Structure 1
Amino acid sequence: MQTRSALVIVATCLALTACASDDASVDSVAGATAAGFYDPSPESIPGRHGSVIRSQPLTGARAVPGARNHLTLYRSVDAHGAPVAVSGTLAVPEGTPPPGGWPLISWAPGTTGVADVCAPSRTEGSSPSAQEQARWVAEGYAIAKTDYQGLGTPGGHGYLIGDTEQRAMADLATAAREVDDSVGSRWVAMGHSQGGHAALFAAGAAAAWAPDSELLGAVALAPASHLGEQVRMAKWSVSNPLGSLGTGDVAVYLPLLVRGAQTVTDLDPARFLTDRANALLPMADSACTGELREQDNWGGLSPREVFTEDGDLSALLRVLDDNDPSGLRFTAPVLVLQGRSDRTVPLKATDAMVAEQQLHGQSVDYRKYDDVGHSDIVSASFADALAWVDSRFGITG
């Protein structure tokens, strides 16, 4: 058993004071001058998954206060079994680590897009923010935050493809020890929205994928689920005159879902998209979600402007159904945290997902929060998440 004071005697006071901002360093990492970091030579990519290709210090606005920060490029394996490079960041508390090394959270972020410029390590404000991560660092946790496969790096982002998401998380948990040997081998998977989806898949497969890194549990905040059903309903509203369902977020996320599905199957979107929507599809390759939400982009499309009435969605729906987390079998305990006022990941969807998981005997602790929306769940549930994660590591107050 570890005590809270032993973990944070130095980290707490340092993490509560913001590091000095170094905008020049941020620009050199995130801007055009850093393109080479995210695009390694082909001969450098093959190797053991979870090993490091290269790493460098990270400073400025993207650095977590009170921590040693690293921008990291590491090896993983894509859906077709080919080696790929994945980028991510690592924040390690200052001070002396506890016996066994700093406990690690491998964090999977929410949706930013599928274009390389949308990679969380290049994007300020992607969840959790540096200040939110600093709360975990102040409690004595190292935070490894993946960009996912093909986001920032070549290869195409497998958006909401569960197996490649969990590989990115598990491989970064392994790579973290190579980047900084004060990081321990025990870890918890955690993520929000898309990242919650990833954390659930980690709970099912990461222990087998990375057996040298001990997975203790997974925390899924507002995890994406039932995407197939949501797409079916949006398509149904095209031909049903009584259907009042607007595509809303489904329209914004549809080009991302298409691009994600195309990383695992041969998918022709012209078989179900209107000419207008198909013409807008390439926007996903250069624009992040904020731009896709605009009224002159995907955010302004009605169902009839997205789907053809007789379109064949079967190939896309197969991928979405195959990657729904509801039927997963877990090898580690799971905590699901959901806001009741969430309009992006509906409460009913998460209720249904957890009910199915628990029906099949899965170890799922489910907690809901009144008057909490999609983005606010990260901060609103922090105390509960911390207590749950502490218990996994045997840390006492």
Structure 2
Amino acid sequence: MPENESARTGQRSRRASRPGIRRLFPLLAATVTGSILATPATSTPVRPEETTLASFYEPAADRIPGTHGSVIQIRPLTGDPALAGARNYLLMYRSIDMRGNPVAVTGTLAVPDSTPPPGGWPLISWAHGTTGVADACAPSQDTSPDFPAHDYTSMVRRVQERWVAAGYAVAQTDYQGLGTPGPHGYLIGTAEQRAVTDMARAARQIDPDIGTRWVAVGHSQGGQAAVFTDAEAQQWAPDLQLLGAVALAPASHQGIGLQASQLASTAGVAGPLAPLTGGAVSFLPLIIRGAQTVAEVDPVRFLTPRAQSMLDEADDRCIGQLRQPDSWGGLNADDVFRRDGDAAALIRVLNENDPTALSFTQPLLVLQGRADTTVPAPGTEAMVVRQRASGQPVQYHAYAGVDHRGVLDASFDDALDWVNRRFGR
């Protein structure tokens, strides 16, 4: 879907001001051919480069075109965000955005620091949950407790270390536009899938001891990405063998949730219905920014003047900061939505990126906490019911008393057992 630049005027000024970025994308689009989509990435090891951490995220323009899933540059990692028991790398690799342009994406790779099993290390390509859409929110930039999403990303790393201890290589993408030039397609399923899958290809280029078989695992935003990966990855990267996907508390029914919030505001019952909308208010500026990467979405049509004035906070604040009382966390639906507003364009994008109606042949495991108020269990269960009714291979486990982040630990043993069986371990 084409992006309408006029709808985003003034909304990405920080990113757009980077030298040459606006001129870069049309040039790159002209240089990309269909062969980029079909050529597998080489498994020849890539050597680390001497770059500063700050410059690592700003690649030279002439380095970005190339095969999706191929590595642009790497550097070894020590300390956060490295995982214990592994050789760790910060990497930049190539992907393709929703306009067909090559883009640089960053992420991290952890390979167990021991002898690989026959067939190579089994690979987990991890899709992280919501951190934000600002470059500063990229998980690979979490090098200290001062990182604005450290409370979440450090928790995820402890879970990922359990995967490493169980004998898995773990790769985690930042997604397109987080840390690197260009906008982040928040909740745009295909863009997320490409980042997750191309990370799996890049991991093998860095370390050929990683096997060709892999599983996608994702939480929250990443849970949605994992379902899209299950549906689309094998076609995107036929040189790898996707064995399935694990979706923890996957975002779904976002369009319905947004409609519910808007209708609740119109009816004057926003407060009582808040638990059913998944705390959408704090996520709304991120949702809008994500939708604007693929469609013309004009917030003036549905946001109140107060909410419009706060929209730019998404461009330099992470989700924890947006949830604060002095930001979007201090608003309710009545403060956000115009009673005569028209959010049809935004709702359409969300519905198009709902994982509920996807078709896939590889198995999917869905894991959900019943006490989750961010991604409420009824929405996840509705997704599973529809997928099963249409014949999709879905297994589902729910955990009583477990909230949105708690599902990461509560479900680990079930996830590990399921993934082990996929790999025949």
| TM-score for both structures, normalised by structure 2 | 0.84
Alpha-carbon offset, residue 268 of structure 1: 1.1
Residue of 245, 264, 277 corresponding to 2:273:
245
Map of 2:9 onto structure 1 = none
Alpha-carbon offset, residue 68 of structure 1: 0.2
Rate the CA distance shift 1:129–1:209 in 2: closer, same or farther, 3 A.
same
Residue of 198, 208, 211 corresponding to 1:184:
211
Amino acid at match of 2:287: L
Alpha-carbon offset, residue 128 of structure 1: 5.0
| 1:40-82 Cα shifts (integer Å, max 9, x gaps) | 1111111000000001101112110000000010000001111
Rate the CA distance shift 1:128–1:358 in 2: closer, same or farther, 3 A.
farther
Separation in 1 of the partners of 2:120 and 2:255?
A: 41
| 1:175-205 Cα shifts (integer Å, max 9, x gaps) | 0011112111110000100010000000000
Find out whether 1:114 has 2:141 as its counterpart: no
Other structure's SS at 1:245 match: helix
Map of 2:249 onto structure 1 = 222
Separation in 1 of the partners of 2:419 and 2:315?
A: 36
Amino acid at match of 1:362: Q
Map of 1:162 onto structure 2 = 189
Separation in 1 of the partners of 2:332 and 2:413?
A: 40
Separation in 1 of the partners of 2:92 and 2:127?
A: 16
Find out whether 1:378 has 2:408 as its counterpart: yes
Alpha-carbon offset, residue 295 of structure 1: 0.8
More deviation, 176-185/250-259: 176-185
Separation in 1 of the partners of 2:97 and 2:260?
A: 31
Map of 2:357 onto structure 1 = 327
More deviation, 44-53/304-313: 304-313
CA contact (8 A) 2:266 2:339 kept: yes
Separation in 2 of the partners of 1:127 and 1:377?
A: 15
CA contact (8 A) 1:248 1:299 kept: no
Residue of 291, 309, 326 corresponding to 1:261:
291
Rate the CA distance shift 1:213–1:128 in 2: closer, same or farther, 3 A.
farther
Find out whether 1:387 has 2:417 as its counterpart: yes
Number of matched pairs:
365
Rate the CA distance shift 1:248–1:344 in 2: closer, same or farther, 3 A.
closer
Separation in 2 of the partners of 1:334 and 1:275?
A: 42
Alpha-carbon offset, residue 99 of structure 1: 1.3
Find out whether 1:47 has 2:66 as its counterpart: yes
Amino acid at match of 2:164: V
| 1:228-264 Cα shifts (integer Å, max 9, x gaps) | 1111011001211345334772110000000000110
Other structure's SS at 1:129 match: helix
Amino acid at match of 2:60: S
Other structure's SS at 1:329 match: coil
Amino acid at match of 1:230: G
Alpha-carbon offset, residue 371 of structure 1: 1.1
Alpha-carbon offset, residue 127 of structure 1: 6.3
More deviation, 187-196/125-134: 125-134
Amino acid at match of 2:69: G
| 1:134-190 Cα shifts (integer Å, max 9, x gaps) | 111111000000100001111100000000101001000000011112111110000
Alpha-carbon offset, residue 35 of structure 1: 2.4
CA contact (8 A) 1:189 1:218 kept: yes
CA contact (8 A) 1:109 1:128 kept: no
Find out whether 1:138 has 2:152 as its counterpart: no
Map of 2:366 onto structure 1 = 336
Map of 2:226 onto structure 1 = 199
Residue of 380, 393, 402 corresponding to 1:363:
393
CA contact (8 A) 2:124 2:170 kept: yes
CA contact (8 A) 2:278 2:375 kept: no
Amino acid at match of 1:330: F
Other structure's SS at 1:153 match: coil
| TM-score for both structures, normalised by structure 1 | 0.90
Separation in 2 of the partners of 1:270 and 1:377?
A: 37
Percent of aligned positions that are identical: 58
Separation in 2 of the partners of 1:314 and 1:161?
A: 17
CA contact (8 A) 2:77 2:90 kept: yes
Amino acid at match of 2:324: E
